[in-house]
Structure formats: C-alpha cells, structure tokens
Amino acid sequence: MSTAPTDRYAVAGNPVAHSRSPDIHAMFAAQTGERLIYERLLCPLDGFEASLRGFAASGGRGCNVTVPFKFEAHDLAARRSPRAALAGAVNVLRFDTDEQGGWFGDNSDGLGLVRDIEHNAARPLKGQRVLLLGAGGASAGVLGSLIAARPAEIHLANRSTDKAQALVDSHAAWATQHGVRLAASGLDGCGNAGGFDLLINGTSASLGGAAVPVSAAVLKPGALAMDMMYGPAAQDFLDWAAAHGFAGRDGLGMLVEQAGESFLIWRGQRPDTAPVLAALRAQMAAAP
Ligand code: ATR
C-alpha cells in the first residue's frame, strides 16, 4: 500500500459551509481512482493569502476560490491562463512550485456555464441573443467564455451602468474577434432591446430576497432563464421562470462542470460529470 501523503484540495472562501464542491470532488475521486481529499477552507476576510499559504504548507496542492476572493486570487497567481487574465478573476489555483513557475491561476466558471447550457441543457449558443444580468465577479468570470461560444449578441445589464460598461470595454476586442455584438445598459435599458433567447442571472439579487430585476417581457417565449445560484437561493428565480413559461435552470450544472474542469487542471483527467450532476440533484431533492 502506498504511504505517500494524500493530496489535499479545498474550496476557499467566506462563507463556505454551504458549498457542495467537497461532495462533487469526492465523487470525481471515487470515479477516477485519484487519491485526494477535498475540504472547506474558511478564510478570514483579511486573511485569504495567509490561509492559502498555510494550506499549501500542510499538503494543499490547489484550491477552488469562491466569494469574495476571486479577484484577490487573480492577483496572487504567479501565472494565469488567458481566460483568467481576461476575466481578471481566478476560481481555481494550482500550487505549482517555484521551479514549475509558481502558483497557476485559471477560471473554469465560464467554461462550466457554457458546457452546462450547450451540453446539459442542449441549447447551442451560436447565433443566440443573450441577456446577462450583473457586472460583479460572477459575470466577469463567465463573459469571455460566453463570447467564445459565438452568440449573435450579449447584452450586459446592471444596476449601475458604469460597471456593465467597464466589463464591455475590457471584453470589446475579444468580442470583435468572435463576431459578437456586446452592449451595456442599466437594468431598465434592456427592455428596448428585448427578444432575448437566453437570460443569465449573475446578480446576487436573489441572495437578498429581491425579485428578478428585469421584466419577463424582454425574453422570447420558451427562452432559457438561468440563475448562477443553486439550492434555496435559486428557488424564487426558478418559480419566476416557471410562472412565465420559460425553461428555468439553476447553477448546479455549472458548478459541477466548472468542478470537472478544475479536476482536469489539477489531476490531468476530466471526470464524467453527468452521473455526478444526477447524484447531486437527487441528494439535494432529498435534503435541500
Ligand atoms: P459577485 O462577485 O457574486 O458577482 P458582486 O461583485 O458583489 O458579487 O456583484 C453583485 C452583482 O449583483 C452586481 O452586479 C450588483 O449590482 P451593482 O453592480 O449595481 O451593485 C448586483 N446586485 C446585487 N443586488 C442586487 C439587486 N437587489 N438588484 C439588482 N442587482 C443587484
């Protein structure tokens, strides 16, 4: 039997108690036979770097990063993938040694979102009109990958228009390169555009119990309405989607898909995500 220490990974954030990532990675490890453990790492708001250094010193090989540290994780990485550099945010770190070039930062959120929409929900994005709500870390993390899927248009609507405009500006060249129209507005400015095939809610409005911050009239009948949240936080959004006849989707599939991509970055193999998503949905239906 091997006596090598087991590799440790974690989800680092504040809060992390609610995170389903440990369940997901435990299923990936069982499926692939990789020997690892995956924990929750609660980091003090002013102690993210110290927490990560301590974790790395005690056998940590990498981590996922969640709110509110994705921008800080970007700055901590010695090297970044092009998609993480474009997002300005990192949700996966691999603790490579200095000889290997130092900590590597990537962003798998966007790829996870696109894979969930196109593969799991069977809605190809090419040529579609997309309305993305919010201009914080969640939206910043996914915009580059959404553009790379070549929808006809992405309209970014946010409570404060200047933040939406800043995200559009930082992605303008990328959008041109992919032939995607990119526009920014306040939340009531997207009504003039209308006719969207897909709504993605990247705001934290539902966390505070606020209503979906746009009118249902901006979407086409039968549109896909997706919230990046999952669990109880997504329920009001899903109810809203059902009440208007849209195909509602929460962020659980995105979570599993970004986890699959993180696993690939750390372990060099991509797990089969479909049975893990099905198992997780069954678990959450039994004990939400
Ligand atoms: P995250 O990193 O999770 O995206 P964030 O950076 O705090 O978190 O961003 C939260 C997003 O939700 C922002 O786009 C915010 O709008 P502002 O930029 O105008 O603050 C949006 N948001 C939060 N509460 C909202 C609400 N009640 N209605 C509409 N948008 C809201």
Q: Domain 110-250 carries which CATH code?
A: 3.40.50.720
The sheet carrying 247-249 orders its strands as 181-185, 153-157, 129-133, 196-201, 219-227, 247-249
Q: Say how many Å lie between the CA of residue 160 and the centre of ligand 1.
A: 9
Q: Which residue has the tokens 């006809």?
A: 152
pLDDT of amino acid 211: 84
Give, for ligand 1, the residue of 69, 143, 159 to mutate: max count of ligand atoms closer than 8 Å to Cβ.
159
Choosing from 70, 126, 163, 220, the catalytic residue is: 70
Q: Say how many Å lie between the CA of residue 113 and the centre of ligand 1.
A: 18
Question: CA 84, 13, 264: angle at the middle one, nearest 5?
Answer: 45
- CA-wise closest residue to 39 among 54, 57, 58, 26: 26
| Each residue's pLDDT expressed in tens, for the chain with a length of 288 residues | 556 779 999 999 999 999 999 999 999 999 999 999 999 999 999 999 999 999 999 999 999 999 999 999 999 999 999 999 999 999 999 999 999 999 999 999 999 999 999 999 999 999 999 999 999 989 999 999 999 999 999 999 999 999 999 999 999 999 999 999 999 999 998 866 679 999 999 998 887 778 898 999 999 999 999 999 999 899 999 999 999 999 999 999 999 999 999 999 999 999 999 999 999 999 988 886
Cα 49 to the center of its chain, rounded Å: 21
Q: Say how many Å lie between the CA of residue 144 and the centre of ligand 1.
A: 19
CA distances from 28 to 157, 167, 174, 234 (A): 36, 34, 33, 25
| Ligand 1 atom 12 nearest Cα | 203
Question: Which residues line ligand 1 at a C-beta cut-off of 6 Å?
Answer: 67, 134-138, 158-160, 163, 203-205, 208, 210, 213
* CA dihedral sign of residues 264, 270, 276, 278: positive
pTM passes above 0.75: yes
Catalytic residue check, 70:
yes
For residues 268 and 183, what is the distance between their CA atoms, to the nearest angstrom? 37
CATH superfamily, with its number, for domain 7-107+258-286: Leucine Dehydrogenase, chain A, domain 1 (3.40.50.10860)
- CA-wise closest residue to 141 among 229, 77, 41, 70: 70
pLDDT of amino acid 189: 86
Domain with CATH 3.40.50.10860 in the chain: 7-107+258-286
Domain with CATH 3.40.50.720 in the chain: 110-250
